[in-house]
Structures are given as C-alpha cells and as structure tokens.
Amino acid sequence: MSGYDPNNVFARILRQEIPARLVHEDERCVAFRDIAPQAPTHLLVIPRKALARLGDAGPQDEGLLGHLLLVAAGLARREGLADDGYRVVINHGRRGGQAVSHLHLHVLGGRDMAWPPG
C-alpha cells in the first residue's frame, strides 16, 4: 500500500461518514451505486481494506481480488445485466482515469459499450 489517504471519499463511505446507496456488503467489501452514473446501471465494488490502487495489491490480496470480481459478477446478474452483457472496469492512477484513491471496480450495464474505451 502506498500513499493511502484515509479521508478519501470511499474511506468515508466505509466509515459511514457520508451516505451511499448500498447494494451489497460483506466482511471484505461493500458495493453501492455510483453518484454520477455513466450507464443505466453503474455500481462500484470496493474492498474494506485500505488499498489505494490495483497495483498496491500484493500476493496476500489474491483472494480478496477474486472476491471483488465474483461480487461484481453476482451483482451484475442480480441487476439483470448478465444476458445482454456488461463491463467491469478498474482505473489505476492518473492516466488510467482514477479520481478516487481507494481501489474500486466499476460495474457498468444497460447500454452498449464502446471499444476502444475513451
């Protein structure tokens, strides 16, 4: 973990200092609706662990990363996105478009996705 800011917005959501529209929580992660959705369905899945970026995860996080992906897929199924398809995105760092420095998976669905991404 490098340079984790404990006051980033997702850390504050985890501490329940600011509200979020939760769709899932368990002992390892929380998921909620994005405040500025980029698709009809736009969820964020975040670990409870203080990891700033995907690249800060280590071998000890292998199970956690797998769990986040399985939760993302389960939520996509529950939201009715699985048949038509959806996208899971992780932005890492400035050039990756990461604005919030707490690892998060975007789950986007309900419309056609473009490729290559912007």
* Binder among 11, 14, 20, 81 for ligand AMP (CB under 6 A): 20
Distance CA 116, CA 110 (A): 18
Distance CA 91, CA 49 (A): 17
What is the closest distance, in whole angstroms, from the C-beta atom of residue 33 to ligand AMP in the complex? Answer: 7
In contact, 47 and 100? CB cutoff 8 Å: no
Q: Indicate if 42 belongs to the active site.
A: no
Tell me, what amino acid is at 108?
L
Does 55 participate in binding ligand AMP (rule CB under 6 A)?
no
Does 98 participate in binding ligand AMP (rule CB under 6 A)?
yes
* Binder among 95, 99, 117, 118 for ligand AMP (CB under 6 A): 99
